[in-house]
Amino acid sequence: MKKPSHFLTLPFPCCSIFGECWHEMTAVTYLEALVAEGDIWQKLTPKQVAEAMEKVENPREKGAVMSILMNEERLERVADALTSAEDAEKFSFAWRTKDHE
């Protein structure tokens, strides 16, 4: 099974199941939090994501992390959508390319 870190090696997601760039940015931040918490698939609360992001030295969305962390509803929707590698592969067309499998 692919770990959360696998999806951070792929191009930035586009055309996610939500169809908004903020959700893609939130997904990347959420994956970084999962990696910081042991690189296993688990559901993190918005508070846990914020605590985990304190461990990330150079977040990919560093200019937007605070805004991402403040939107708890969006974080919860992304957490519900990213519960496994299979879910992550469905999340974005960019991640579902043959070049990255």
Taking only the tens place, the pLDDT of each residue in 11-58 is 777 777 776 788 888 999 999 999 999 999 999 999 999 999 999 998
Looking only at Cα atoms, what is the longest distance across the chain?
35
Residues 6+ apart with CB under 8 A from 19: none
The whole-number pLDDT of residue 20 equals 73
**What percentage of the chain carries pLDDT values higher than 90?**
54
Taking a C-beta distance cutoff of 8 angstroms, is the pair 81, 8 a contact? Answer: no
pLDDT at residue 100, as a whole number: 45
Rounded to the nearest integer, the mean pLDDT of the chain is 86
| Closest C-alpha among 96, 74, 84, 69 to residue 21 | 74
In angstroms, the CA 5 to CA 2 distance is 8
Under DSSP, the state recorded for 3 is -
Query: What pLDDT is attached to residue 90?
Result: 83
How far apart (Å, rounded) are the C-alpha atoms in residues 87 and 91? 6
pLDDT above 60 for 85 = yes
